[in-house]
Amino acid sequence: MTQRFLIALLAAGLLAGCSMPSVITLNDGTRIQTVDVPDFDEDSGFYEFEELDGKAARVNKDQVITVREL
């Protein structure tokens, strides 16, 4: 194997390992799938995340029952 191939393979593995899709379950039973694990902003009390369609979104922590990685 060439050195370029090994570097490309390593880079692809790192990129695939960084993204951890998640599901946020809300009080009303709604499930929101996210591209990555949501960030929690303690100052505002909101979970911030990117939806599957690429839109940025926020949900109040009081509405969230669970956050699970897929």
13-65: per-residue pLDDT in tens? 555 555 789 999 999 999 999 999 999 999 999 999 999 999 999 999 999 99
Query: In the chain, what are the domain boundaries?
Result: 19-69
- Taking residues 3-12, report their average pLDDT: 59
Q: pTM, whole model, 2 decimals?
A: 0.72
DSSP letters for the chain: --HHHHHHHHHHHHHHHH---EEEEETTS-EEEESSPPEEETTTTEEEEEBTTS-EEEEEGGGEEEEEE-
Q: What is the reported pLDDT for 56?
A: 96
Q: What is the reported pLDDT for 62?
A: 97
Greatest pairwise CA separation for the chain in angstroms: 53
Q: What is the reported pLDDT for 19?
A: 72
CATH 1.10.1670.40 at 19-69, yes or no: no
Report how far residue 14's alpha carbon sits from residue 33's, in angstroms, rounded to the nearest whole number. 22
